[in-house]
Structures are given as C-alpha cells and as structure tokens.
Structure 1
Amino acid sequence: MRDVWLIFQRELIHCLRQPVWVVMGLAQPVLYMFFFGPLVGKFVARTHEFPPGDPWTIFAPALMVQMVIIGSTFVGMSLLAEYKAGIFDRFRVTPASPVSLLFGKVLTAAVTVLIQSTLILAVCCVSFGLRPSIPGVILCYLIVGLLAVSLASCSYSFALRVKNEEALSGSLNALLLPTFLLSGTLLPITAELAPRWLWIASRLNPVAYVMDASRASFRGDVASDAVISGLVALALITTASISWGVATFSRVDG
C-alpha cells in the first residue's frame, strides 16, 4: 500500500503540473452539455419511450460516463511514452512491485475522472437546474470511479502488450467507437426506440449496463434492477481488467 500511495502521489502531482490536460478532458463533455443537452429535453418531452426522469438526470450521468470512456481509454499512450523513455525500467529496479505501479496509475485515472465529474455536475446544477438524488450521486461516483479503473487498467495492459504508438492508437480508436455508441451514452438505447438488432448489440456491451445503472442511480432508484445489473457487469469488468493488468505488469519484458 505504501508503494501504491507513493506512485499515486507521483502521478497526481504530474497531472496537477499539467492542468491543461484536465481542462481539455472537460472540453468535449461541456460542448455536448450546451450544444446537445437541450435537444435531449425535446426528445424526452415528445416520447414516452425514454427512461424515466427529467432530461438532465438522463444526460448528466451520460456525460460522466462519456468522460470515463474517452479519457481512461487512452491513458496507455502516456505509459508507452514512459516505457520508450526508460522510465518504466527504472521503476522495475526499485523495491516497488510492478503491480503497485499499475494500481497507483489506475487510481490516479479514477481520481482525475471524479474531479472532472464533480465539475460537470456543478455546471449542470447551476446552469440547468439539475437536482439529483444525493445517495444516487454517491453511487454514480462509485460506478464512474470503478469504470475508470477498469478501462485504464485495460489501456495500460494493452499498451505494454503492443509497445507501439501507432498500433495502440489505431486499436483503441477501433474499440472506442462501437463501445461508446453501443453504450447508449448519447441517447438511451431502449427496446422501444431502437431496432431489434441494435438493442441486442447494445446488450452485448457490458458498458451499456453500467450506463443504465448510472442513470437509475441519478434519479434515486438505487435498488432497481438496472442498478443491480450494472453493478454485476461492472464487477465482472473490474475483476477481468485488474486481473489482466496484474498479469501483464508482472510479466512485462524489458
């Protein structure tokens, strides 16, 4: 735990020294908030096929999950830069275990996402009158944090597997788009709204269950079936990604 804390401090200080990246990570969700969010209200007002809740209890958690998907997926690029520069090898000759390096880095990714989510939530409350359930927001923070840990762990592991910037960037982009679209982040994918093939495809995406759980928690349905299904899916994703990360960091070649 001491090694994890030291690496977490190092990574967090590195992020704070370059706050521009935190701000840039907020740019896309903020643009969606102001340029796309008002349209969601029109959709909700004209159809009864959306999930229950007002427009911003539907869209605000989507912005948080969107930030996780886009931000945490590409953290492996920074690790690859450290690997190429020899920084990763220097960590390997220290008493700290490679696994503590993984945990320190993924915790930093989760904390960064939670800070950004707090700012997004504050803007939604001030500018659009969002009034979410407090217990639901806490649960949504837990969901967002664990999803960030999962995706960051996969990104770091994949980076150490391919060890090539072009291959990593192309592969992540190819995986990111279908994951993002089939999660129902921009618009909820429901059995009533979507064609049957699209609905089935979205059900094969575990992030879609996490997205449904985030929306349900925001409107206060913390004991609903959507939350339970999302937490189960999130537990499976987290366990698989952390296991892959531990195996990769423990066996990585210099």
Structure 2
Amino acid sequence: MNTVTTSAPVPTEFAAPAASVARPTGFVHDTVAVFARESRPLVRDPFSVVFSLVQPLVFLGLFGPLLIGASGGDAAGTLQWFVPGILVMVALFGTASTGANLLFEMQTGSHERTLVAPLSRAALLVGRALKDVVPLVIQGTLVVLVSVPFGFRLDVPGLAVGLLVLAVFGVGLGALSYTLALACRNRDWMFWMVHQTLLFPLMILSGMLLPLDEGPAWMQVAAAVNPLSYLVDAERVLLAGGFGDPSIVGGVIAAAITCALGLVLGVRAMRRAR
C-alpha cells in the first residue's frame, strides 16, 4: 500500500532552490534572511514607527511640565534628567511586547511553516530580535530631536553611544519576550499577564519618571536590583556627554547581561519549538 505524506508549505522567502540541500546555509546568512523578512512590514508601513511614539511623547508632554514646575522652572536641567529616561522607556515598551507578534504567528500556523524552512533555529530568534533595534533607534532619535527646541542639550556622540547601549538591551529584552511567547503559545492571556505584571514595576523602580532618592528603603533596594536603574543612570550621563562617569559601566553591564540572558534562553526555546 502506498503512503502519501504531506508537509507544511515553506514561506517563499525561505524556500531553498530545488538543487540545493535542505539544511541551514549558515548562521549569519540565515539571520540576515530572517531580519530582512521581519523588516518588510516596517518598510511597507513606516508610519507605524511614528504612531508608536504616542505613548513616550505623552509621558514627555505630561510629566515634563510637572517636573519642571517642581524644579523651580529649570526646563533645560529637567529635560537633561528626564529625556534619557524616556529613551529607556521607548526601549522597554518597544521590545517587551514584540513576543505578541510571534504568538500571533504561532496561533495562525505561520510560525510552524517557518520552522520547516532550511534555517538555523538560532537565526530565527536572533534575526527577529535584531529587527526590533531598527524602530528603537528611530524612535529614540525622534524623541531627542523633539526635545531640543524645548531646551534639551544634544550631545551627538553621547546619543550615538546611548542608542548603541539601548540596542544591546533591546535585543536581549526582545529575545526574552519571544521566549515568553514560546512558553505561552497555548495561553496567550498568560503572556499579557506576565507582561503587565513585570513591565510597570520595572519602569517605576528604575527612576526613569521620578527620582527614587527620597523613596522608602525597600524601594531603593528594589531599584538596586533592577537592571533598568543602571541603564537609566548610564543614559543620563551619556546624553550629557559625560563619558568618564563610572555609571556608564553599570549600564553597559546591565545591557550586556540582559542581552546574553535573553539570547541564551530564547535560542534554547526556539530550538525546542515544534
């Protein structure tokens, strides 16, 4: 008796030529292919990057005047303190929810078709995570440029290094978001429950919106173990052009650890995906 077997169709952008061997062609090549595929919606709809700026700009527009009033009207000094925190917020909100896209693909069957493509499983995750860096850099730059007419002093080298540190952090946080999506593939409500439970405490306990110096002792202890706190401190120093400040080292270490942890856990989860 003849047995007929079927397999899920492979996305055309990942399909291998008929004469080639169906195996990964190399991590770098596969990562570039995944990055290009994931970036196409961004190229086709660049206005989505602008629209996603609404939330950080609302915080900038509403919290900014309150902080300026509390500081006695020192607009320039307040913006130098506040804008770097908004940049970290952009990285936090922009990458922490990217796993929802993967969750949608798993629910519609698109992700399963991608898994049968001749691609490295690690590249499937790294390419996605790198794609999240593009809107992060664009949005961060726009936030700074919007703040300049209101008194923010722009240090271009500091901004470049600050965005690089945020990009490293964003890759790691995006990978962690994809890891959570893979773990919650059959329970999408759990993804959002974990997302919302962690996101706002991390944001508040980082000092990006309000200083924590006068907060209770337990809050300062929680901030000390929050990697975002070190990232916020580093961004404030970098955007002010203070490259010799030791807090930069703390921010770089926090971003590197987040990146390494996210990629290790994410690649492991992607390799176990079925």
Q: Calculate the TM-score normalised by the size of structure 2.
A: 0.84
> 1:83 corresponds to which residue?
106
> 1:3 corresponds to which residue?
30
> For the residues of structure 2 that align with 1:12 and 1:109, how far apart are their CA atoms?
9
Q: Structure 1 or 2: larger helix share?
A: 1
CA deviations 1:11-55 (Å, max 9, x no partner) are 1111233345323320011112222212222333489xxxxx821
Paired residues in the alignment total 245
> 2:21 corresponds to which residue?
none
> 2:244 corresponds to which residue?
223
> For the residues of structure 1 that align with 2:266 and 2:169, how far apart are their CA atoms?
14
> For the residues of structure 2 that align with 1:23 and 1:46, how far apart are their CA atoms?
30
Letter matched to residue 70 of structure 1: F
> 1:31 corresponds to which residue?
58
Aligned CA-pair RMSD: 1.7
> 1:109 corresponds to which residue?
132
> For the residues of structure 2 that align with 1:44 and 1:99, how far apart are their CA atoms?
48
Q: Calculate the TM-score normalised by the size of structure 1.
A: 0.91
> For the residues of structure 1 that align with 2:84 and 2:73, how far apart are their CA atoms?
21
Bigger mean CA deviation after superposition, 18-27 or 199-208: 18-27
- 1:36 aligned counterpart, secondary structure: helix
Residue 165 of structure 2 is aligned to residue 143 of structure 1: yes
Work out the percentage of aligned pairs sharing the same amino acid.
31
> For the residues of structure 2 that align with 1:44 and 1:7, how far apart are their CA atoms?
47
Letter matched to residue 142 of structure 1: L
> 1:161 corresponds to which residue?
183
Residue 206 of structure 2 is aligned to residue 183 of structure 1: yes
Taking the TM superposition and a 5 Å limit, the aligned residue runs for 1:28-67 are: 28-45=55-72, 54-67=77-90
Letter matched to residue 141 of structure 1: L
Instruction: Give structure 1 stretches of 5+ with no counterpart.
Output: 48-52
- 2:154 aligned counterpart, secondary structure: coil
Q: 1:203 aligns with which of 217, 224, 234?
A: 224
> For the residues of structure 1 that align with 2:70 and 2:266, how far apart are their CA atoms?
41
Contact 1:65/1:211, CA 8 A, preserved across alignment:
yes
